[in-house]
Amino acid sequence: MDPSFASLAELSQALRAGAFTSTDIVRHFLDRINAMNGTLGAFVGVNAERAMEMAEGLDKLRASGVVYGPLHGLPIAVKDLVDWQDEPCSVGSAAWKERRSQSDATVMRKLLAAGMIPIGRTAMVEFAFGGWGTNPLCGTPRNPWDMQEHRIPGGSSSGSGVAVAAGLAPAAIGSDTGGSVRIPAALTGIAGLKPTYGRISLKGCFPLSGTLDSVGPMTRTVEDAALLFEALAGPDADDPATLIAPELEADAWRRLHVEGMRVAVMREEDFPIAIDPDCQSAYDRTKAALADLGAHLVPVELPFSFNELTERNGRIIAAESYAIHRDYIHDERLAIGPYVRQRILGGANISAKDYLATLADHRRMKKAYDAFMQPYGALLTPTVPFPAVPLFEVDEQSFPLAAYGRPANYVGGCGLALPAGFTETGLPLSIQLMGRAFDEASVIALGHALEKALSVPARRPGTMAA
């Protein structure tokens, strides 16, 4: 087995069988990073010495009969906004290149408690404010599915998507305020899970919007996303939102039956933005696959407009990001990207009246969405309207990639981006399953079944046709 493109579950089994040691696996990925990251730009920092020391220690524990769980001894990449004590954490900003973490984020503590080995920090859109994946000052990672043309990786968790897709890490941590896990997952051909707000602690993860932020796994398979999600979820006294979340039932998704499950299907007339023919084909194939699995597809008239939800989501992000960065964002001497600066400054023009009214609407829409979704296991939608475009085609003044992502954050649901085939030229396609609040089990069960039913070919990045 080549560890490069193996899943976490497969690597875990190989460790249990003695086919590899953690030291073998970590060294393998570090070698790939050393060979390929100069071209791909997925990682902004790698601590090889620390990773190898951890791998050796975890191998010794395994040899003595101590295994923390299924993720014991497996490497993971972490977005550059998750604090790890004494390590750099620049939040994608050239202005913050000297910033170091003073303590561990709860996410980091849970990864370490599960026996995982953080091998490096991944590139991101500055301050997590952007969906294209661009970063003009620190560098934009290259989508590995086209090695001739520099295409967008999607953002803001750009490096995490590229790292997993290119086989530089078997899994990564991303954050999602309006699609920032799901967009790069879609454009790089991997799975990305946005959990419900409150499922995973945000303590120690630098915020974009405290109202809408979430942290989630980016992985090769849906099963891997479930493994990581369950390792990270749970109450944290340092994040009050996690204290009111219902208790997570381990492996609940495995006990759900897709046959007979009702799936709401977004009608094309409700699409907030037209999708290209390849994305439409993937959407249609997915509907057919769900029907073959025995799910009951129900075309629904949505009681809300995705465009309106997207706009209101953006208003909260702008207002809250400005509150975070207002003390220095006006300083033109600081090395902050012009488009991110512009987006943050847009929050200065949002009045307290409008901000509070949008928060009130956010609370109402969470209730309305929960009521609407009660009969359904998920709402099927596109993830993005088109595959990865060349970098030179990016329009930083527009946000088309967020059209299907932001609504899930605004209505308080969960969302899963899932690979759904390729274009004729070899670019990944994706579909999204939006679920009820705290019902990750249903979208994971559906996604796992779809993953097998769609039979996405096991291609490798860099093989895009001319």
With vertex at residue 299, the alpha carbon angle to CA 298 and CA 305, rounded to the nearest 5 degrees, is: 130
How far is the C-alpha of 407 from the C-alpha of 382, rounded, in Å?
12
With vertex at residue 407, the alpha carbon angle to CA 406 and CA 411, rounded to the nearest 5 degrees, is: 125
The closest of 376, 433, 446, 386 to 192, measured between CA atoms, is 433
**Across the strands, what pairs with 432?**
381, 417
Residue 16: which residues within 8 A CB-CB, separation 6 or more? none
| Cis amide linkage into residue 156, ω under 30° from 0 | yes
Is residue 359 classed as helix, strand or coil in its secondary structure?
A: helix
Is residue 301 classed as helix, strand or coil in its secondary structure?
A: coil
**What values do phi and psi take at 358, rounded to 5?**
-70, -35
The closest of 458, 323, 383, 370 to 194, measured between CA atoms, is 383
Which amino acids are annotated catalytic?
79, 156, 180
Q: Where are the strands (E) in 23-170, listed by range?
A: 43-46, 75-79, 117-122
How far is the C-alpha of 179 from the C-alpha of 184, rounded, in Å?
8
Cβ burial of 398 (10 Å; 0-12, 13-18, 19+) is: exposed
